[in-house]
Amino acid sequence: MNHCIVRPVADSDIDAAILVLRRSITISCVADHQNDEATLERWLRNKTSEHFRAWLSAQDNFMIVALIQGTICGVGAVRQSGSIDLCYVDPSWQGRGVGQAILSALESKAKEWAVRELKLVGTRTARAFYERHGYEFIPEESGPGFGVLFDYRYRKKL
């Protein structure tokens, strides 16, 4: 595997980061959105430069990109509240440790903030990934999401 570098998002990364988000959702998460147009439209609606800049400027948000050979191949975000909001890997880079590098960096930042527990809403596609990394499925908090999606809620004590 090529070495994966994780660093904070720069303004110049925004377009490439959005492309990663959109490709990951449309290509890797077909089992979740089932190619349902309304579900995809809603999921992708806020994956724009304008929204990304707003996320990036939020004081309680820490956003990172993962790079291999200078190519942005993953995006992650965690809030001081303990919510992991983004952990996406471009489909062409999956299975190469990019997701693990992102998750590790987000968890490290949460520990710096003295967050005691992380929470996230995952997809069917990502369940095995989160469970391999110590996240506990919370069935009583999980349920239907928007469109055809099902929200799989997870937590991890730090």
In angstroms, the CA 29 to CA 123 distance is 8
Instruction: With beta carbons less than 8 A apart as the criterion, state whether 103 and 118 touch.
Output: no
| pLDDT number for residue 136 | 98
Q: Does the pLDDT of residue 84 top 70, yes or no?
A: yes
Please choose, from the candidates 157, 113, 114, the residue with its C-alpha nearest in 3D space to the C-alpha of residue 135: 157
Please choose, from the candidates 18, 9, 22, the residue with its C-alpha nearest in 3D space to the C-alpha of residue 102: 9
Q: With pLDDT > 70 as the criterion, what percentage of the chain qualifies?
A: 99
Averaged pLDDT, 18-37: 96
Instruction: Write the CB contacts of 111 (distance below 8 Å, at least 6 apart in sequence).
Output: 158
Q: Does the pLDDT of residue 2 top 80, yes or no?
A: no
| pLDDT number for residue 153 | 98
User: Does the predicted TM-score (pTM) go above 0.85?
Assistant: yes
SS3 30: helix
Between 64 and 96, residue with greater pLDDT: 64
Averaged pLDDT, 47-65: 96
Domains of the chain: 4-112 (3.40.630.30)
Instruction: With beta carbons less than 8 A apart as the criterion, state whether 61 and 79 touch.
Output: yes
**Count of beta carbons in the 10 Å neighbourhood of residue 88:** 25
How remote is the C-alpha of 34 from its chain's centroid? 19
